[in-house]
Chain A
Amino acid sequence: TAGITQAPTSQILAAGRSMTLRCTQDMRHNAMYWYRQDLGLGLRLIHYSNTAGTTGKGEVPDGYSVSRANTDDFPLTLASAVPSQTSVYFCASSALDPPGTGELFFGEGSRLTVL
């Protein structure tokens, strides 16, 4: 069972360049999320989506954008990367059934280094 697939696994990016982190799930979950993980800060929510066609801002949305064209895919785009966006990015999904149970399933993570 694949679950959640993220790509790339690791990437080094020059500051000012754009980058899209891909996330695909095969569990038909309604909700999807992007978190970044930084040492000492835990996981912080960047953007989320409750269903295809809708997205929302999390705790640290600045510099990131997302789209949810269908149930399975939830790409995260950095339009113009900055060094402070160096982090490990985790995509997650949740069935939201029943609503509010909130159990998340995570992908393997994408390690991004911005120089």
Chain B
Amino acid sequence: AQSVSQHNHHVILSEAASLELGCNYSYGGTVNLFWYVQYPGQHLQLLLKYFSGDPLVKGIKGFEAEFIKSKFSFNLRKPSVQWSDTAEYFCAVNATTDSWGKLQFGAGTQVVVTP
């Protein structure tokens, strides 16, 4: 079974600062990788996803993530955050062989952006 580890539980930063959230997974096979965001009081929304091809993927709202297979990592980045990026961010993984599409989520990282 796969597992997902997010390195930071809470991150506080100022507007215009750069953001990087770490995500590592453990699974020996081929995986699909996702980052979801949950804004306060809302449901989860997909930020970006990686299935195959270019390991640097771009998502909505200026976010990007890089898949480094050798490190089993899929870190999320944004060069300059805004107050509206305050949210909880979840990394998720599923095995490409899993036809049920079940996702394994990390514990989440709460990001607070101060004005």
Contacts and interface: CB of A to CB of B under 8 A. Distances in A.
B43 A42 contact: no
* Residue from B34, B49, B90, B101 having most chain A Cβ neighbours under 10 A: B101
A104 B90 CA distance: 13
Contacts of A102: 32, 34, 94, 98, 101-103
B90 A40 contact: no
Interface string A6-40: 00000000000000000000000001010100001
Nearest to B4: A42
Contacts of B98: 100, 102
Interface in A86-108: 90, 94, 96, 99-104, 106-108
B46 A107 contact: no
A31 B51 CA distance: 19
Interface string B5-25: 010010000000000000000
Nearest to B30: A100
B95 A100 contact: yes
A20 to B, nearest CB: 20
B105 A42 contact: yes
Nearest to B94: A102
Given A33-B102, A104-B44, 17 more contacts: A40-B107, A40-B108, A42-B4, A42-B107, A43-B90, A43-B103, A45-B104, A48-B102, A99-B101, A100-B32, A100-B95, A101-B32, A101-B51, A102-B32, A102-B34, A102-B98, A102-B102
